[in-house]
């Protein structure tokens, strides 16, 4: 990952990451919850700011989809308290890393960056998946339960790899 930092990252200068999908009610709130739980497990909650957003305005203020919440609960995670919000142009500046769930999300984010100033921060989340398939997290919204389970597996595996890549990059002393 580029952008290696010599400055030690602490609560005063945290690593800010945001996960982005279309609705911010299925894939990205799950990624927010899973990634945050990994951060906490390794004692790095002061070092990271973790957020999620949707490219659409459809679900602003809504809780995550009940089916995604259920899948999360099945895996020991609660995401029901999260609230949908729309990705804003200012988020391009605010976050260090912007992870898009699919290529449409990536293009929608990049279209807010007219001058290309922030394009290096915007990546497909599954670039960090050890088993990346087509590099996208498929939208489970119109499908069945298996789609949600598959999304969970991809998000969990990718979040773990991503966390360890960042921990290495920033030389974090992580707890186990
Ligand atoms: P998400 O899934 O982008 O993973 O949150 C979707 C949620 C809602 C809709 C589409 C995708 N929708 O059409 O309302």
Active-site annotation holds for 21: yes
Q: What is the pLDDT of residues 54-109, one digit of tens each?
A: 999 999 999 999 999 999 999 999 999 999 999 999 999 999 999 999 999 999 99
| Structure confidence at residue 7 (pLDDT) | 73
| Residue 3: predicted pLDDT | 53
Q: Whose alpha carbon is nearest atom 3 of ligand 1? A: 22
Q: Which residues contact 115 (CB under 8 A, 6 or more apart)?
A: none
Interatomic CA distance for residues 48 and 143, integer angstroms: 33
Is 46 among the catalytic positions?
no
From ligand 1's centre to the CA of 39, what distance in Å? 26
- Known catalytic residue at 27: yes
Predicted pLDDT at 6 = 61
| Ligand 1: residue whose CA is nearest its atom 9 | 23
Domain ranges of the chain: 12-169
CA proximity to 102, closest of 72, 141, 69, 134: 134
CA of 105, closest atom in ligand 1? 3
DSSP 160: H
Q: Phi first, then psi: give them for residue 60, nearest 5 degrees.
A: -60, 130
76 Rama class: left (phi>0) / alpha (psi -120 to 50) / beta: left
Catalytic residue among 9, 26, 27, 102: 27
Active-site position among 9, 21, 36, 102:
21
What's the angle, vertex CA 71, arms to CA 86 and CA 43, rounded to 5? 75
Residue pair 28/64 in contact by the 8 Å Cβ criterion: no
Closest CA to 143 of 56, 67, 31: 67
Confidence tier at 170 by pLDDT (50, 70, 90) = very high
In the predicted model, what is the mean pLDDT of residues 126-143? 98
Element (H, E) at 95: none
d(CA 159, CA 163): 6
Taking only the tens place, the pLDDT of each residue in 4-52 is: 556 788 888 999 999 999 999 999 999 999 999 999 999 999 999 999 9
Q: Looking at ligand 1, which residue's alpha carbon is closest to its atom 6?
A: 23
**How does pLDDT run across 107-125, given as a tens digit for each residue?**
999 999 999 999 999 999 9
Ligand 1 pocket residues where CB is under 6 Å: 21-27, 54, 58, 139, 141
Beta-carbon count within 10 A of 37 CB: 19
Third-level CATH fold of 12-169: Rossmann fold (3.40.50)
pLDDT for 106: 98
Pairing of strands 122-124, 97-100: parallel
pTM assigned to the model: 0.96
Residue tagged 């279209």 (tokens): 111
């Amino acid at each position: 990952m580029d952008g290696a930092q010599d400055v030690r990252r602490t609560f005063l200068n945290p690593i800010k990451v945001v996960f982005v999908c279309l609705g911010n009610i299925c894939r990205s709130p799950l990624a927010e919850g899973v990634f945050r739980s990994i951060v906490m497990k390794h004692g790095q909650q002061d070092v990271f700011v973790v957020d999620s957003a949707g490219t659409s305005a459809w679900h602003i203020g809504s809780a995550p989809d009940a089916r995604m919440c259920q899948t999360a609960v099945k895996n020991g995670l609660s995401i029901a308290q999260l609230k949908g919000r729309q990705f804003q142009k200012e988020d391009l500046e605010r976050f260090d890393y912007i992870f898009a769930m699919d290529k449409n999300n990536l293009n929608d984010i990049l279209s807010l960056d007219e001058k290309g100033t922030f394009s290096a921060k915007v990546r497909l989340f599954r670039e960090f998946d050890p088993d990346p398939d087509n590099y996208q997290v498929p939208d489970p919204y119109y499908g069945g339960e298996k789609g949600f389970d598959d999304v969970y597996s991809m998000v969990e595996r990718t979040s773990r790899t991503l966390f360890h890549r960042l921990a290495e990059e920033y030389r974090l002393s992580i707890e186990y």
